[in-house]
Amino acid sequence: MITVMKFGGTSVGSPEALKRVADIIMNTESDKAVVVSAMSGVTNFLVGASENPDCDAEAVARQFEAKHLEVASQVLGEAEMKAFRKDFDERMGRLRALLGSEASRSDPYYRDDVTSQGERFSSLILAHMLRARGADSVALTSEDCGIVAEGSPLSGSADLARTASNMAIKVKPHIRGGGIPVITGFYGIRNGAPLTFGRGGSDYSAAVVANALDADLLEIWTDVDGFMSADPRIVPGALLMDEMSYGEAAELAYFGAKVLHPRTIEPVRTKHIPLKVRNSFRPEVPGTLIHQFSKPKGGLLKSVAMKTDLSIISIESAEIAFYPAIVGRIIEKIAENEVVIYSISTSLSSVAFLVHNNDVKATLNKLNSINTSGDIEMIEVKSNVALICAVGDDLLGRCGVSGDIFSAVKEARANVEMISEGASDVSLNFVVPMSKVTDVISVLHKKYVRGEQ
């Protein structure tokens, strides 16, 4: 049995946290591979350095070096520290050269290279910790493993087939020999250059590794107990969900639940690999199991999530429904900025898009650039709205679901600004004003998750 274990930034963010992680790994009785994020705060630090052309490269390198050496000195003994420094200094030499090279800054993948450095050092520390405990552990970068990426800078995806072929040769022998490979998350390699999978992409990396190794289980170790029936900061009575289907987890992750990166599901779903979300700070909690099936629940809903700080951009054009080329051009233009569209609604003479508040200005500029022929008659923006995702069993097949849910919205004295239903049979998504989103979430949870009238 192969278990892939992924540990997030907070799980490897301090000496105490790293010791807990090492305990968890050593106490797991199966063949295993480990995937790690950078230590908490490191990626943000590197993003700032990569985006600042006037940054002091040596000062950045010294600060980065000091942070990692300080942590390593607290988790490794004198003998282990000596072996660690040899590997560490080699990697630091490459990082210094990268930060100090003016020519590298013109490379389109420069920011991917810089921002992926944190994983290279957290994996090194953890591998040496496991060696100190008697494990045959090796720190492997994505280059070492052959994790193949494709796509544009800062927005890559893994080539699952080629990655699986490479890892069968480069990683599986370590595992079969009883070793524990500790692998960098967050990025793959495209034509020899690092390409990151987007912020939070280490969850996705772990799913890619699990897919490539034909793992029996993927464990995502983070700083929460698992998926909850609502955000406990908003709903004090939120319940831990013991299991979910792949579809339910994907919907909640995409539409606001910050437990899991939304792209994590697909690589494990394709091979029916179960996924568990667990808390590295409370390993005694069983967490949430995500797999092909889930138990039916008595109530209407299982969970309610939200995505805030959104805007509706409405575009009016006479009989736009009969001119799909216009809609196609609009979507194509918005996509040039890689803006995420969370929902689309159409009518005879209008189409509305739901985007993040921060993307409104760039989206409007793109829309104005295609309106030279006057096809677009008017553009309106309604800001400060929130998207609510209500997840339950077979919502499309149950009579009266929409009526029940929207009666709760009415009870919270909120208007529904936009609706998305039918794209998934496990969720109903709708938009309400930001000022009312917590009221709506609370009423829905009370009535249809907890079953309190």
- Look at residue 299 in the predicted model and tell me its pLDDT: 77
CATH class of residue range 2-223:
alpha beta
Q: Could you tell me if 409 and 432 are in contact, meaning their C-beta atoms sit under 8 angstroms apart? A: yes
Core vs surface per residue 360-372: b (16+ CB within 10 A) or e: beebeebbeeebe
User: Domain limits of the chain?
Assistant: 2-223, 303-449
Beta bridge partners of 135: none
CA neighbor of 385 nearest in space, from 334, 435, 442, 420: 435
Q: Where in 317-400 does DSSP place strands (E)?
A: 343-346, 350-356, 378-391
User: Domain 303-449, CATH 3.40.1390.30 — does that match?
Assistant: no
- Look at residue 400 in the predicted model and tell me its pLDDT: 83
Token pair in block for residue 159? 């080539």
- Look at residue 374 in the predicted model and tell me its pLDDT: 66
Which mean pLDDT values do the consecutive 10-residue runs of the chain (453 residues) have? 97 97 97 98 96 93 98 96 96 96 89 97 98 97 98 95 98 96 98 93 97 98 95 92 93 84 95 97 96 79 94 88 82 86 88 94 88 77 95 80 92 93 78 96 94 79
CA distance 66 to 64: 6
The identity of residue 382, as a single letter, is K
- Look at residue 268 in the predicted model and tell me its pLDDT: 98
The identity of residue 356, as a single letter, is H
- Look at residue 86 in the predicted model and tell me its pLDDT: 96
**Cβ neighbour number for residue 424 with a 10 Å cutoff:** 18
pTM, two decimals, is 0.92
- Cβ neighbours of residue 22 under 8 Å, at least 6 residues apart? 75, 126, 129, 130, 133
- Look at residue 435 in the predicted model and tell me its pLDDT: 96
CA distance 237 to 231: 9
Q: Could you tell me if 217 and 211 are in contact, meaning their C-beta atoms sit under 8 angstroms apart? A: no
Q: Could you tell me if 218 and 275 are in contact, meaning their C-beta atoms sit under 8 angstroms apart? A: yes
Q: Could you tell me if 143 and 186 are in contact, meaning their C-beta atoms sit under 8 angstroms apart? A: no
